[in-house]
Amino acid sequence: MRKVDASLILSKMDRDTAYQMQGNLCFETLALCNMKLDFETCTFLDDIRYIDLIAENVKVIFTTPILAEELPENKYGFILTEQPRVLFFKFHNMLAGNSCYIRSKYETKISSNARISNLAYISENNAVVEDGVVIEPFVTIYPNVHIGKNTVVRSGCRIGGEGFEFKKEENGIIPVKHLGGVEIGDNVEIQNNTCIDKAVYPWDNTVIGDNVKIDNLVHIGHGVKVANNTMIVANSGIGGRTEIGENVWVGFASTIRNGLKIENDSRINMGAVVTKGVKEKQAVSGNFAMEHEQFIHHMKVISVKGKEEL
């Protein structure tokens, strides 16, 4: 990646959000503050609780003057503002038009033995469809999507669309442009009317591993990682940046909050609302989800109390 000088990009933006620049503002890409990458990154910090989580690759930080006092000034360049999150994502949107930040353009590559309905749409650029893939009618494949061998994408699916990321400011709501991609492994099946959003940052992908099976009407948010052999049942929603391990079962109509880790061989039971990470081989149930045996005990206690009150 080529380095970007934040001061040059900021100088081209409308100055509707006040800021001051301090130090060396060169970086390679944008990311959240705790993302450990091989690139020099620019991030934002608007909460003191995240100071100890800042990755070593961070070089430039959008932050408030008060929070900057808690950080070593000789280690970072700063863009000081009272609205670091909003200005950071405006900056991200501005970079969406910069060739040194976004992905390179190439002609779409479709295997000659893929079976694709004439009623499906595949982007003319930046898509790869490998051998043995089946794409049914009314599927949409957007740019920056790679579909692995022998994968089946059933009718009505949308792969690689914009995710749900908006930032509020005083004058309205800012949509955040999604510049990443989607990587789908081999022998995956994605059933009818499921949506898999692309990642926010150009270096990142939403990833669906080999042999994953996804039912109808499932939402996979931006930057989610689903490892091999996992199964996700209908009407479930996976929040952005969540990581789901191998051999996981996500039951019917489950909801998993963004940014969680669901470890290998775990089980999300039907209708669970998951708000914290799930350990390896753990089963969780309920709203909010808890360890399954604990949930059953809790329900028994409630049932006994209810009968006593009758």
Task: State percent of the chain over pLDDT 90.
Answer: 85
Q: Give residue 6's pLDDT.
A: 94
Tell me whether residue 51 is in a domain: yes
The pTM assigned to this predicted structure is: 0.91
Last residue of a domain, one of 30, 63, 95: 95
Tell me whether residue 283 is in a domain: yes
Strands laid side by side in the 205-208 sheet: 109-110, 127-129, 145-147, 181-184, 205-208, 225-226, 243-244, 261-262
- Per-residue pLDDT of 222-253, as tens digits, reads 999 999 999 999 999 999 999 999 999 999 99
Q: Give residue 222's pLDDT.
A: 99
Cα gap 48→39, rounded to integer Å: 24
Q: C-alpha angle with apex 156: 225 to 107, nearest 5 degrees?
A: 70
Shared-domain flag, residues 135 and 265:
yes
User: For the chain, what is the domain count?
Assistant: 2
Amino acid identity for residue 127 in this structure: A
Q: Give residue 170's pLDDT.
A: 82
How many alpha carbons lie under 13 Å from residue 122 in its C-beta half-sphere? 23
Tell me whether residue 66 is in a domain: yes
Residues with catalytic function: 222
From its phi and psi, is residue 216 left (phi > 0), alpha (psi between -120 and 50) or beta?
Answer: beta
pLDDT at residue 184 is higher than 90: yes
Question: How much is the average pLDDT of 62-81?
Answer: 95
Local confidence band at 192 (pLDDT 50, 70, 90 cut-offs): very high
Q: Give residue 301's pLDDT.
A: 72
CATH code of the domain in which 64 resides: 3.40.1390.10
Residue-range definition of the domain harbouring residue 284: 109-293
Q: Of the ranges 93-97, 122-126, 139-143, which one carries the lowest mean pLDDT score?
A: 93-97
Tell me whether residue 179 is in a domain: yes
Tell me whether residue 155 is in a domain: yes
* Assigned token pair, 184: 């789908």
pLDDT at residue 263 is higher than 60: yes
pLDDT at residue 4 is higher than 70: yes
